[in-house]
Amino acid sequence: MSRFWSPVVAGLSPYVPGEQPKQGTLLKLNTNENPYGPSPAVLAAIAAETHEGLRLYPDPLSTTLRTAIAERHGVGGEQVFVGNGSDEVLAHTFHALLQHDAPLLTPDITYSFYPVYCGLYGIPHDAVPLDDAMQVRVAEYRRPCGGIILPNPNAPTGIALPLADIETLLRDHPDQVVVIDEAYVDFGAESAIPLVARYENLLVIQTLSKSRALAGLRVGFAIGQRPLIEGLERVKDSFNSYPLDRLAQAGATAAIRDEAWFVQSRDRIVASRAWLTEALGGLGFEVLPSAANFVFARHPARAGADLAAGLRSRGVLVRHFRTKRIEDWLRITVGTDAECARLVETLRGMK
């Protein structure tokens, strides 16, 4: 607390990101980074952009990158908005499209940044419970609201929602924006981007942090019809006209264009996920069916906090949330096969 703070600051409950350890010996399975690294074409593009031209501001519209994203997804460049990580795209979305008197609906178990943005922008918020199988029930969202946001697949459960259910949300709420946060969609869910042409109330958000292995570059994007994108642009140009630097624009463009690299690392992660799910089951864990690059698992006889602490003391980081309903669950990033095996062996040794 400081008397110098603006009044809103004292009331904030900021997001706490997963640990980024200084020492390199820990196995990091806690923040859903991609173990395979970005395409070599990304590194080459960033190197090629690293010259005295950095004295100049970057393209404020990120035109080349937006065009690459538009071509990849079969939309127009003017339907693409890019930001400094999808977290920034999300922040602008809350500010531009979700700040209303009626409450924003989210699942009760979901990305924990959403309530933080609600606090920052003064947005009322209702948490709609997942069912006992940790699934989203779209019928529960049939109530007055100012908007809806959910990840697909959901985080941290990893469970995917069928497109038909997303269409139900869009049809039930023609006057509200429905935001689908597709941070993990490439690992096994169906993207809602093909619905954008038919639903003016749909905004789809993706990131290059997970399936494109570029968490360190900070690039995310949104796709929607012009009125929604224009709302985001108005907020962006009232906040920071140059959110993506020259290196990020060059690297992200190369990443979007290297489909082969993306497909190869994604397929390896999906195969390792199946192995990890099976191996955890063999140790007695309940593992939710994941469409993401992590699994969400609990042991019937062992507390989640103890498991996470025991793993940490043995050099393995996983994510544990001290949140009601999921205190006993661990969110474990799918690493390489060798990393998954090290996690499983470590757990086996903790019996």
**Can you say how many angstroms the Cα of residue 121 is from the centroid of all Cα atoms in its chain?**
20
CB atoms within 10 A of CB 174: 10
Interface of this chain with ligand PLP, residues 85 to 104, rule: CB under 6 A: 85-87
Question: Cβ closer to ligand PLP: 152 or 176?
Answer: 152
One residue of 30, 152, 157, 207 binding ligand PLP per CB under 6 A:
207
Alpha-helical runs (H) found in 79-221: 85-97, 113-121, 163-172
Tokens of 245: 């630097």
Interface of this chain with ligand PLP, residues 109 to 148, rule: CB under 6 A: 111
Question: Cβ closer to ligand PLP: 86 or 191?
Answer: 86
Total residues in contact with ligand PLP, by rule CB under 6 A: 12
One residue of 215, 235, 270, 341 binding ligand PLP per CB under 6 A:
215
Question: Cβ closer to ligand PLP: 180 or 276?
Answer: 180
Question: Cβ closer to ligand PLP: 155 or 297?
Answer: 155
Question: Cβ closer to ligand PLP: 188 or 347?
Answer: 188
Residues in a beta bridge with 81: 222
User: What is d(CA 70, CA 253) in angstroms, rounded to the nearest whole number?
Assistant: 11
CA angle 93–12–218, rounded 5-degree value: 45
Q: What is the dihedral of CA 111, 112, 118, 120, to 10 degrees?
A: -130
Site string for ligand PLP, 57-86 (x = CB under 6 A): ----------------------------xx
Tokens of 244: 């993506």
User: What is d(CA 158, CA 326) in angstroms, rounded to the nearest whole number?
Assistant: 13
Residue with the two structure tokens 């960033």:
46
User: What is d(CA 152, CA 137) in angstroms, rounded to the nearest whole number?
Assistant: 13
The length of the chain, given as a count of residues: 351
Check residue 220 for interaction with ligand PLP (CB under 6 A): yes
Tokens of 253: 């463009």
Check residue 181 for interaction with ligand PLP (CB under 6 A): yes
Q: How far apart are CB 243 and ligand PLP at their closest, in Å?
A: 12
One residue of 104, 109, 155, 250 binding ligand PLP per CB under 6 A:
155
Q: How far apart are CB 351 and ligand PLP at their closest, in Å?
A: 31
Check residue 183 for interaction with ligand PLP (CB under 6 A): yes
Interacting residues toward ligand PLP by CB under 6 A: 85-87, 111, 151, 155, 181, 183, 207, 209, 215, 220
